[in-house]
């Protein structure tokens, strides 16, 4: 089969891009279609693959201000001419699933989440907008995108969701069933660490829904050491909040991140994640996770065995969990073995099997 890969944006490197890398391993000759790309922010291998950008790429200041062009994204994704491919495999948390295919093609979408800023996080997102002009215009723009999102979701032939949590949202917002395949976690260079330098660790994009502010408040109260790795537009606010026991390192390489994982007491996940790779990366070092007990954490952290939940998104609830954590014992080997069940080879095998079964069913229907 001739295969095309479609991805929302290639201007950052995170969990969605790691999924795309696995697709690239499975289908090394497949080109990638994306709204915009900045390969200077991606690993070397992305410079060696055929990438097709939308017309957004050629607009002035698109790489820096692409989010302000959101009203053009539905049109841009629909302009890709994919008629020459038998299978279109999209990796989407927003617009990639909206490509147009014909009845003789199969479109399988690996959905990281339905667009959170037009669905479940819409009202929270609007509260964070301070610019009065944007606050007035955005509801109209996002209303149109919400309608397009629901309509374009019906173009996909088969959905794969990255978690049961996301599968539920796909069903709620799109009225579609999906097959759950948890995303890959790279454990090849990880090993159980017995180091413990008595600090807690957050590895995250610094944006409001991740609830880093909640963790900072709790650690300021307790005067406990906390290291935060990551960057994002919420960095300045969080930096102002951070007390003397909190260290903010900003963006760091994978090597530095793994070094901190290996010597922390535990990792902390405070937001409600679609799935969440970072808890599994921590567990890949044999480290327990203190997680908000909702969303993807329910599928990656085993309460009392590989970590502990706090049940309310409040400072007091997190403080209670930290107190419980201090008197609990965790087995590093059990934690590591749990993380291994989410490895890359497992992911690739499940993806290949699903695509094979889906294409066979599709061909049978055509006959």
3-state secondary structure labels for all residues of 286-305: CCCEEEECCECHHHHCCECC
**Per-residue confidence (pLDDT) for residue 15, from 0 to 100:** 84
Average pLDDT over residues 53-69: 91
At the topology level, CATH places domain 3-184+344-366 in Rossmann fold (3.40.50)
Mean pLDDT of the chain: 93
Indicate if the pLDDT at residue 363 is higher than 90. Answer: no
116-153 pLDDT per residue, tens? 999 999 998 898 888 898 899 999 999 999 999 999 99
Query: One fold for both 3-184+344-366 and 200-340?
Result: yes
How is the chain split into domains, by residue range? 3-184+344-366, 200-340
Q: How far apart are CA 205 and CA 199, in angstroms?
A: 20
**Per-residue confidence (pLDDT) for residue 341, from 0 to 100:** 92
Compute the C-alpha angle 224/228/233, nearest 5°: 130
Sign of CA dihedral 329, 332, 336, 338: negative
> And the tokens for 329?
């014992």
Residue 47 or 110, more confident? 110
Helix spans in 153-291 (H): 164-174, 212-222, 235-241, 254-263, 278-283
Q: In which band, very low, low, confident or very high, does the pLDDT at 367 lie, cut at 50, 70 and 90? A: low
Q: How far apart are CA 299 and CA 363, in angstroms?
A: 34
**Per-residue confidence (pLDDT) for residue 174, from 0 to 100:** 97
Q: In which band, very low, low, confident or very high, does the pLDDT at 190 lie, cut at 50, 70 and 90? A: confident
- DSSP one-letter code for 128: T
With a CB cutoff of 8 Å and minimum separation 6, the contacts of 301 are 269, 279, 283, 289, 291, 307, 309
pTM for the whole structure: 0.88
Comparing CA positions, the residue from 212, 201, 203 lying closest to residue 265 is: 201
| Main-chain phi, psi angles of 126, to 5 degrees | -65, -35
CATH class of domain segment(s) 200-340: alpha beta
Average pLDDT over residues 279-292: 95
Comparing CA positions, the residue from 75, 64, 88 lying closest to residue 35 is: 75
Comparing CA positions, the residue from 116, 119, 110, 114 lying closest to residue 161 is: 110
Counting residues of the chain whose pLDDT is more than 90, the rounded percentage is 80
Indicate if the pLDDT at residue 170 is higher than 80. Answer: yes
Indicate if the pLDDT at residue 365 is higher than 80. Answer: no
Average pLDDT over residues 302-317: 96
Residues 297/276, Cβ–Cβ less than 8 Å: yes
Indicate if the pLDDT at residue 196 is higher than 70. Answer: yes
Residue 208 or 95, more confident? 95
Indicate if the pLDDT at residue 307 is higher than 70. Answer: yes
**Per-residue confidence (pLDDT) for residue 346, from 0 to 100:** 94
Indicate if the pLDDT at residue 7 is higher than 70. Answer: yes
**Per-residue confidence (pLDDT) for residue 95, from 0 to 100:** 98
Q: In which band, very low, low, confident or very high, does the pLDDT at 366 lie, cut at 50, 70 and 90? A: low
> And the tokens for 81?
């001419």
Indicate if the pLDDT at residue 46 is higher than 60. Answer: yes
Average pLDDT over residues 72-91: 97
Percentages of the chain per state (helix, strand, coil), in multiples of 5: 45, 15, 35
Cross-strand partners of 161: 111, 180
Q: In which band, very low, low, confident or very high, does the pLDDT at 256 lie, cut at 50, 70 and 90? A: very high
Residues 245/227, Cβ–Cβ less than 8 Å: no
Residues 11/41, Cβ–Cβ less than 8 Å: yes
């Amino acid at each position: 089969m001739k295969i095309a890969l479609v991805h929302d944006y290639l201007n950052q490197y995170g969990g969605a891009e790691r999924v795309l890398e696995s697709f690239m391993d499975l289908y090394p000759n497949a080109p990638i279609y994306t709204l915009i790309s900045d390969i200077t922010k991606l690993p070397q291998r992305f410079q060696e693959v055929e990438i097709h950008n939308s017309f957004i790429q050629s607009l002035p200041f698109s790489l820096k201000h692409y989010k302000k062009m959101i009203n053009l994204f539905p049109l841009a994704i629909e302009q890709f001419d994919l008629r020459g491919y038998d299978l279109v495999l999209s990796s989407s948390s927003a617009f990639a699933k909206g490509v147009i295919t014909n009845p003789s093609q199969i479109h399988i979408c690996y959905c990281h989440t339905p667009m959170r800023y037009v669905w479940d996080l819409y009202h929270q997102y609007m509260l964070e907008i301070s610019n009065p002009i944007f606050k007035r215009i955005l509801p109209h723009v996002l209303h149109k995108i919400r309608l397009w999102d629901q309509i374009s979701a019906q173009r996909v032939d088969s959905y794969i969701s990255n978690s049961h949590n996301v599968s539920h949202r796909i069903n709620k917002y799109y009225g579609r069933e999906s097959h759950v395949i948890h995303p890959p976690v790279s454990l090849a260079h990880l090993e159980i660490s017995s180091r413990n330098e008595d600090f807690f660790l957050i590895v995250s994009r610094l944006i409001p829904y991740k609830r880093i502010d909640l963790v900072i408040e709790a650690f300021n109260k307790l005067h406990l050491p906390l290291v935060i790795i990551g960057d994002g537009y919420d960095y300045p606010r969080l930096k102002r909040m951070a007390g003397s026991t909190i260290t903010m390192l900003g963006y760091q390489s994978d090597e530095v991140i793994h070094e901190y994982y290996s010597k922390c007491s535990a990792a902390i996940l405070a937001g409600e994640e679609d799935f969440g790779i970072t808890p599994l990366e921590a567990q890949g070092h044999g480290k327990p996770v203190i997680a908000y007990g909702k969303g993807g954490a329910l599928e990656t952290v085993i309460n009392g065995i590989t970590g502990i939940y706090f049940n309310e998104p409040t400072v007091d609830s997190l403080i209670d969990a930290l107190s419980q954590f201090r008197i609990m014992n965790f087995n590093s080997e059990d934690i590591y073995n749990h993380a291994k069940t989410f490895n890359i080879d497992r992911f690739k095998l499940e993806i290949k099997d699903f695509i094979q079964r889906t294409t066979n069913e599709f061909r049978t229907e055509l006959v």
